[in-house]
Amino acid sequence: MQMPAFTMLNHHARCAGADAFRAAALARRLRGEGEPGIICCRRFVNAGAGRAPGVVDHRGGAARMRHHGLAMARPEMQAKARAARLERSACAGDVSPAVPDGLAASSMQVEPAGGCKAAGFVRG
């Protein structure tokens, strides 16, 4: 398994029930039709706290921006926006020039941690 070069951590506050968020999550469609530069996509729902964090690992920053462009056009993204409000995002890893430019053009509030990998592993 390849080590991700760029990771995005999204913090959502749920506006609808947990089932509505699960139904709107793009993970199933992304696996088959999404950006091939996505290594792993994980969505979580904390029903009691009204939270829905998500982690998406990409091959690099450019793959992240392509993923964002594809995902924003999907009906699931509009459903997800009704089910949960994105509070903040943090990114780490390969912050290529495409990332800050793309984020500046979007409405996302992102903590651009950036940096290069210092350590880690992926079990296969």
Domain boundaries, the chain: 8-114
Please give the average per-residue pLDDT across 48-62, as a whole number. Answer: 87
CA distance 97 to 99: 5
Q: Which amino acid is at 113?
A: A
CATH class name, domain 8-114? alpha beta
Write out pLDDT tens, residues 96-116.
666 666 666 666 666 666 666
Alpha-carbon torsion, ordered 25, 30, 33, 38, to 10 deg = 170
The pTM for the full model equals 0.78
